Structure 1
Amino acid sequence: MPEGPEIRRAADRIANVLVDETVEEVAFAFPELQRFTKVLSGQRVLEVETRGKALLTHFDNDYAIYSHNQLYGVWKIAKRGKMPATNRSLRLALHTSGHSALLYSASDISVWPREEIGMHPFLATLGPDLLSAKLAWRDISERLAMPRFAGRSLAALYLDQHFLAGSGNYLRSEILFCAGVHPKRRPRDLSRGERGRLARETLDLPRRSYETGGITLPPRLAATLKKTVKGFERRRFFVFGRDGRPCYSCKDTIRRDSMGSRRIYWCPTCQPE
């Protein structure tokens, strides 16, 4: 599933072709949404916003399209009239005079009056967005100390969108590694210094991933690996997907387990249990 940084980058691409443009034609695959084609066609797009893993397209008639990629959804941008070659099912199409923003394979799409969008069942329960410019590391530290979160394992907490919106499977492994904390530990078991370090990494890693297109490694290490390691997926992360390989920091062997029904990776030396 795409995580916060990937959804934000998709939103940037969509905004680049839609914002301040008139959407001449709107097409929904789902019958229950087709009544909104006339409501939205001919309207100007004001903003493309992300809230965690959800994406909102705001129109100047005070309506918004909510979409969530879930596991398989993907946005594609194309010149108007030139549809991408794909076997995916088209779920939503927004056509301007020059471009098309196309959402494939997603099933969670709805249309809302903008003043009511906060009542969406998913959005109403979200924690702060990891990529929000208003979010500070002290805010995250305070949330870690809240009774509703403090007694849960970090492995579970860092998949919970009520805690922080936009976190997901690769981000939790990478954040916990960089903070030097084991996935089974709980916030209430951390020292003040450990909690502060975890909060800082929770803020920094998603922003680095967003800026680099999915790389969580620091620039110098990423540049070195690019020269010696073939394949983007093999040189993106500290630990995620690297089980059986040596840790970049201590050379111990990265391990893999299943926590919260999702795979997780850690270094037994850098993240002692």
Structure 2
Amino acid sequence: MPEGPEIRREADLIAKRLVGKVIQRIFFGLTRLEPYRTSLIGKTIIQVVTHGKAMMIYFEGGKILYSHNQLYGKWYVSTIGNTPNTNRTLRICLSTDKHNALLYSASEIEVLEQQSLYKHSYLRKLGPDVLSSTTTAAVISERLMDRRFSSRRLSGLYLDQAFIAGIGNYLRSEILYFAGVKPTSRPTDLNKRTVEKLAKYTLSLSVRSYRSGGITNSPSTVESLKRRGEKRSRYRFAVFDRAGEECYRCGEEIQRFEANGRRVYICSTCQQS
């Protein structure tokens, strides 16, 4: 499933080509969206924003196209006359005079009114967006020790979008690794310094992934592996998807196990808290 950084990058690409432009044609691959076609054609795109894994495209006149990519959804931007080379099912195509924004495979799509946006059943439950400028390490530390979250295992808490929106499976493993904490630990089990360290990496790795195109490994390790000629799949992550390989820090074998129905990767030597 795409995580917050991936959705934010898709939003940036759409905004670059569509904001300030008039939508001239719309294709809806879901018949339940057809009634909104006439109210959106001819309207200008005002802004494209994200909250966690949700994207909202704001139209002139107050309507908002909400989408969640779920497991396999993906947005593309192309020039008019060029179609992405994909076998995915097209759900939406928004067209200006020069560009298309196309959403494939996702089905969680709605047209909402601005005044009722955060009454939406999914959006109203979201915690702070991990990539928001208002989400600081102090905010995350405070939430970790909030009684709603402090007694829950980190393996489950870090997938709960009500805690912090935008973190998913790969970020969970990477954050816990760099913070040196076990997935089975609870915030209440950790001392103040470790909580602050966990909050710091929750924020910094999410931002790193957004800025780097999905790379969470330390920059020094990435550069070292690149000089050795390693491919992106080898240097992208510190532990995620690396079961059976050596930890880049200590040489211990990376382990994989299941938690909350999703795979988690750890280094038992580096993650002691």
TM-score, normalization by structure 2:
0.98
Gaps of 5+ in 1: none
Match of 2:27, SS state, is strand
Q: Which residue of 2 aligns with 1:11?
A: 11
Residue in structure 2 matched with residue 65 of structure 1 by the alignment: 65
- 2:101 is matched with 101
Structure 2 residue identity aligned to 1:65: L
Map 1:221-260; keep pairs closer than 5 Å: 221-260=221-260
Cα offset, 1:81, TM superposition: 2.0
| RMSD between superposed Cα atoms in Å | 1.0
- Greater shift, 164-173 or 77-86, is seen at 77-86
Cα distance between partner residues in 1 of 2:94 and 2:230? 37
* 1:157 alignment partner in structure 2: 157
Are the counterparts in 2 of residues 6 and 210 from structure 1 also a CA contact under 8 Å? yes
Which residue is 1:77 aligned to?
77
State the AA in 2 paired with 1:234.
R
**Structure 2 CA distance for partners of 1:229 and 1:169, relative to 1, 3 Å:** farther
Q: Which residue of 1 aligns with 2:211?
A: 211
| Equivalent residue letter for 2:26 | V
State the match for 1:200 in structure 2: 200
| 1:52–1:165 CA contact under 8 A, matched in 2 | yes
Corresponding residue SS for 1:148 = coil
CA deviation after TM superposition for structure 1 residue 13, in Å: 0.7
Secondary structure, aligned partner of 1:91: strand
Matched position secondary structure for 1:64: strand
What secondary structure sits across from 2:66 in the alignment? strand
Distance 1:166 1:209 in 2: 11
Q: Work out the CA distance in 2 between the residues paired with 1:242 and 1:35.
A: 47
Identity in percent? 47
Query: Are the aligned partners of 1:158 and 1:168 in contact in 2 as well (CA < 8 Å)?
Result: yes
- Shift, 1:121, TM fit: 0.5
Go from structure 1 to structure 2 and tell me whether the alpha carbon gap of 1:11 and 1:261 turns closer, same or farther (over 3 Å shift).
same
Cross-structure match for 2:132: 132
Checking the alignment, whether the CA contact within 8 Å between 1:229 and 1:235 is kept in structure 2 is no
Q: Give, as a single letter, the amino acid of the residue that structure 2 aligns with 1:127.
A: G
Moved over 4 A (4+): none
Q: Distance in 1 between matches of 2:196 and 2:236?
A: 25
Structure-2 residue corresponding to 1:112: 112
CA contact (8 A) 1:45 1:58 kept: yes
Distance 1:82 1:254 in 2: 43
Structure 2, gaps ≥5 residues long: none
Give yes or no for the alignment of 1:265 onto 2:245. Answer: no
Residue matched to 2:89: 89
